[in-house]
Chain A
């Protein structure tokens, strides 16, 4: 059984009130949701926000129609919730004005076997604005226009931050 099949079966059970099935969903997905929370919120907020995500998902399970993968749906719920928390905490705008340090010379290459793990760690080191756009665009699949709306920047800023993030990641991965 694939992870998607397991998710599907456990969603059905959890929607019927089965805590064990929901715990299995939690265990399969908590690591990625936690990373997402750490990238989008201050570190001290992450655990509480992750708990809130899973409570919210439990409440909304009956609305999951299975048209996308459960993980995709879960991450959409998480991103929306993190954005609301950011707004409440006043984090939304300042992150996009405080990270204009110059881009260092580009290094490369990034050919390495543990690239997925290495990228995840390197993302931690990105300036906040570049990190958020990279996470939303390249990791979570949002479009620039969506990101612009979510982060209250224009789409051009989102594009330039993305390019900057990719170059910085390449630099970090090559060192």
Chain B
């Protein structure tokens, strides 16, 4: 064993040694009684290290996390803007999508599209200007168009996702659609019911987010 070579073993293992130094170390390894064993041990440590099992926290943190989830909903913030023009060749309407994915707060018979603040953008999304608040009807054409676009993406790309994911997404969409339909029917009978308005808005947002995640997953595999 030689300190000179021992100090180079990590660099050797990580492929960071220049060719001449690597050749010298290879020559040393072939004749050294100890360095090959040390190298084998280091290699075993490096191979095992990424697979550490982890140790659970001493107390369950989930309840504290869950209690903060509803207050932590953040979605991409945007408004319609010429700056949000799409690069050519994009398959679906990101501008519409982003605009439609704003948090909706129910206000009477409509919904307020509340733009909160900048949020990190998914890769490939255009940078967007500061937020603003817009009031639109539930049957807002931008929302409908965004959902339609994403549904087309999902229909065209479902083969790129594993079947379990497709099944989960489709079942969830059916449940959300049912919830929206039931709440809409109920609000016809009670138009001033703010709770129902919030439910509709929340489920519309869930549907859009779910479609967007599925579309992202398809795009990542394209």
Q: Tell me the A residues contacting B by CB distance below 8 Å.
A: 1, 5, 8-9, 11-13, 15-19, 22-23, 26-27, 30-36, 38, 46-47, 50-51, 54-55, 58-67, 106, 108-111, 115-117, 119-120, 123, 134, 138-141, 159, 162-163, 166-167, 169-170, 173-174
Contacts and interface: CB of A to CB of B under 8 A. Distances in A.
Interface in B139-189: 161-162, 164-165, 168-169, 172, 176
Given A47-B61, A62-B212, A163-B10, A12 B217 contact: yes
Interface residues on chain B, size class: 35 or more
A113 to B, nearest CB: 11
Contacts of A16: 172, 176, 206-207, 209-210, 213
- The majority secondary structure among interface residues of chain B is helix
Contacts of A38: 55
Contacts of A140: 50
Contacts of B176: 16
Contacts of A110: 41, 44-45
Contacts of A117: 52-53
A61 B206 CA distance: 12
A75 to B, nearest CB: 10
7 nearest interchain CB pairs? A31-B54, A32-B54, A16-B210, A163-B10, A138-B49, A66-B217, A16-B206
Given A12-B168, A16-B172, A16-B210, A63 B41 contact: no
Scoring B9, B66, B122, B219 by chain A CB atoms within 10 A of each residue's CB, the highest score goes to: B66
Given A5-B162, A55-B72, A119 B121 contact: no
A106 B62 contact: no
B26 to A, nearest CB: 18
Interface string B39-77: 011101110111111111111011011101100111110
A87 B70 CA distance: 28
B54 A51 contact: no
Given A50-B57, A65-B220, A159 B37 contact: no
Given A67-B220, A162-B10, A26 B49 contact: no
Interface of B: 6-7, 9-11, 16, 37-38, 40-42, 44-46, 48-59, 61-62, 64-66, 68-69, 72-76, 101, 119-124, 161-162, 164-165, 168-169, 172, 176, 202, 205-207, 209-210, 212-214, 216-217, 219-221
Contacts of B11: 159, 163
Scoring A23, A30, A65 by chain B CB atoms within 10 A of each residue's CB, the highest score goes to: A65
B57 A30 contact: yes
A46 to B, nearest CB: 7
23 contacts: A8-B217, A12-B210, A15-B209, A16-B206, A32-B54, A35-B54, A47-B58, A50-B57, A54-B61, A58-B65, A60-B120, A62-B75, A62-B213, A63-B120, A106-B6, A117-B53, A119-B48, A138-B46, A138-B49, A139-B50, A159-B16, A166-B45, A166-B46
Contacts of A47: 57-59, 61
A166 B52 contact: no
- The majority secondary structure among interface residues of chain A is helix
A119 B52 contact: yes
A9 B217 CA distance: 11
A135 to B, nearest CB: 9
B72 A59 contact: yes
B61 A51 contact: yes
Contacts of B51: 116
A54 B176 CA distance: 25
